[in-house]
Chain A
Amino acid sequence: MSRKLSLLLIGVLIFALPSMLFALSAEEIIHEMDRLSTFETTYSTGSIQTTDRFGTKTSLFRSWSQGEKDSLIEFTSKAERGQKILRTEGSLYLFYPDAEQLIRMQGAALRQSMLGSDISYEDMTEEKNTLDNYKAKLEGLETFKEKECHVLTLTAKTRSVAYPIQKIWVDTESFLVWKAEYSTAQGRLLKVMEVLETFKSGDRVLPKQSRIEDKMKKDSATLMTVDTFEANPKLDRSIFTLENLTW
């Protein structure tokens, strides 16, 4: 081996070694992604704008979350005023002002469209414990919207999840999921999510506006926008209880 070639190899090793040593595994990326999107508590307000064959409609909401498993959404727009969705410890409940009974959504019902949008109940209230349900595989790096992203494929460990396969584009710096493709186990594309705008909360980058397209519906798309966001506000823990749902 010539001297020049040896020097070149040593040079490459010197430059590549740190990145090889400090390269994140798929699990570490997911862990960081979940950590940065989870707060002790949050309060936000926003809108869901759905466009389908019949036109465009907008629903307003406010939501609270606590840790990775509890969330509550209340709709404030006229058509759905007072309707609430509570997710706590793996169960999802719907509250409707005219119904005396809480409706518990389970299994396939979680995949039903929420308010006719492209977002399912599962999407809206999903728990931030990705690695409990999915096995992650790092596919490589890709530039998406001028951001360098890790491309990962998540394969479901259990049959209880809404999407058997997810392909996600995770920002290498902010760990924000810029794009996600949700598919069946056979690879049929079900849904596509793309972040259009972001905002900062402290040092974290969060989605401000996302576009979701249910590929099972024709000519349908939903824009979800977060108007206000408050990280770690003081919340009464009882708001995530069934008893509190009927207030």
Chain B
Amino acid sequence: MIRNLPKLAFRNIFRNLRRSALSAVAIAVSAMSIVMLFGLLDGMETDMANNLQSYYTGQVRIRHADFEKYERYNPLHLGVDWNSIEPILTENSDVRAATPRINFPANMYLGEKTHGVMGIGVDFSKEEAFIDFPSVLQEGRLPEAGKNEALMGFALARDMGLTLGGKVTLLSTTATRGSNAITFQIVGLAGFPVAALNANTIWAPLDRVQTFLGMGDQTQEILILLEEGADEKQTAMQIGNEIERELGISTDTRSWKDLNKMYSMLRIAKVAYYFIAMFFFVLGSTVIINTTMMVIFERMREIGTLSALGMQGSELTRLFLLEGFFISVIGSAIGVAIGYIGTYYMGRIGLDFTEALSGIDMEVSSILYPETSVIKSLVIWAYAVVISTLSTFIPSRRASKIQPVEALRYV
């Protein structure tokens, strides 16, 4: 009898196929949702990491040691000297690319209208490893060094009624804590993956921005990309120490993971989602609990007969547990498979969150591409099976407590 339990249990799930199918579907929906949710979160994490490294901080960022302390005052006079730091970076074998940048808040004047924007001074010739400008360029060309030309986010240009060839005047605070204004001609319109960059950024040649802001050869920050496999935190520390030793200046040199709270939060959120997934499965398992309970009541005569024939209570519990297990295995497998295929498909076409993310200052792209992972899918499948099977333990135990005499009353 004991040896035949799995066979018996498997056969039993076909005795009321519709009910078993309902349980399997509930588990399948839960498993599918979790696979897709994790695929979306993984896609979001990868996307955020790419955007942060390309557009915001690089993998390592160098700034003046006191810049962050006074950041709200826009202390452009607390800059770093690109010309003296570049040789140190060139000598470091872990550094793949480095670029100087200056971010400055500005008021854009268009006739009588004013609009707050973020100006970014970049050396376009050094940005190749960070931002693929030719691919984000929607219209026109890139600004040339030495000229008062700018590249503008397409949404900002659209909102301000600007087209290629148009001119904008920016007013900003300078490194001497005075003010200055400059007129740029729009020579290119860019479609960046991050909505906030399209809505409020103007990119201009570094040398013109340095002159405009009275920064001389100084730059606000230096972004660095590292060679594959280089330890970001360790390299950041090493570069910071090297600069201090060689140039005698203290800098704020940190890895991107230490700089971006949002990214850290996303990673913490992912841990929280594992718990949410557990509740999802428990919720899905309520159907299997309910079904098992009903099956037990329906098969009371059978339970009584089996008990009378000598089947132990623990064997009865295992019988119903095995039934739940088989339904969970099948349901989870179907759910994970559908979830995997769905995630793969969405990863190919992308999910457009342009409307949802408009106006939100978050370093996530408007179009997200969920990521599939075979290992994660298998883990979710196993997770779903374990939770669902354990859920059937409660009603299964009830079967073991039924007295044969009581059960045979149903005969």
Contacts and interface: CB of A to CB of B under 8 A. Distances in A.
Indicate, yes or no, whether A interacts with B: yes
B84 interface: no
B177 interface: yes
B79 interface: no
A101 B167 CA distance: 9
Given A79-B178, A115-B178, A98 B173 contact: no
B109 A98 contact: no
A132 B75 CA distance: 40
A80 B182 contact: no
A98 B148 CA distance: 9
A91 to B, nearest CB: 11
B169 A79 contact: no
Contacts of B243: none
B181 A59 contact: no
Contacts of B174: 79
Interface in A184-229: none
A98 B212 contact: yes
B177 A115 contact: yes
Contacts of A100: 167, 169, 183
Interface in B176-212: 176-183, 211-212
A116 B178 contact: yes
B370 interface: no
Interface string B112-135: 101000000000000000000000
A168 B200 CA distance: 44
B381 to A, nearest CB: 59
Interface in A87-101: 94, 96, 98-101
A177 B171 CA distance: 34
B77 A116 contact: no
Contacts of B153: none
A59 B169 contact: no
A99 B183 contact: yes
A120 B329 CA distance: 74
Contacts of B73: 53
Contacts of A116: 173, 176-179
Main secondary structure of the interface of B (DSSP, over half): mixed
Nearest to B177: A116
Contact of A103 (B169, B176, B212, B214): B169
Contact of B177 (A54, A83, A94, A98): A54
Instruction: With a 10 A CB-CB cut-off, give which of B73, B112, B176 has the most chain A CB atoms.
Output: B176
Contacts of A99: 169, 171, 181-183
A26 to B, nearest CB: 37
Contacts of B109: 101, 103
A35 interface: no
B112 A104 contact: yes
A101 B169 contact: yes
Interface string B140-158: 0000000010000000000
A116 B75 CA distance: 12
A181 interface: no
Interface string A112-140: 00111000000000000000000000000
Contact of B176 (A53, A79, A98, A109): A79
A57 interface: yes
A83 B214 CA distance: 14
Interface string B248-284: 0000000000000000000000000000000000000
A52 interface: yes
A80 B177 CA distance: 10
Contact of B180 (A54, A83, A104): A83
Nearest to B183: A100
Contacts of A59: 178
A101 B110 CA distance: 9
24 contacts: A50-B177, A53-B73, A54-B77, A57-B176, A57-B177, A79-B174, A79-B176, A79-B214, A80-B176, A80-B178, A83-B178, A83-B179, A94-B171, A94-B181, A96-B181, A98-B148, A98-B180, A99-B181, A100-B167, A100-B183, A103-B109, A103-B171, A116-B177, A116-B179
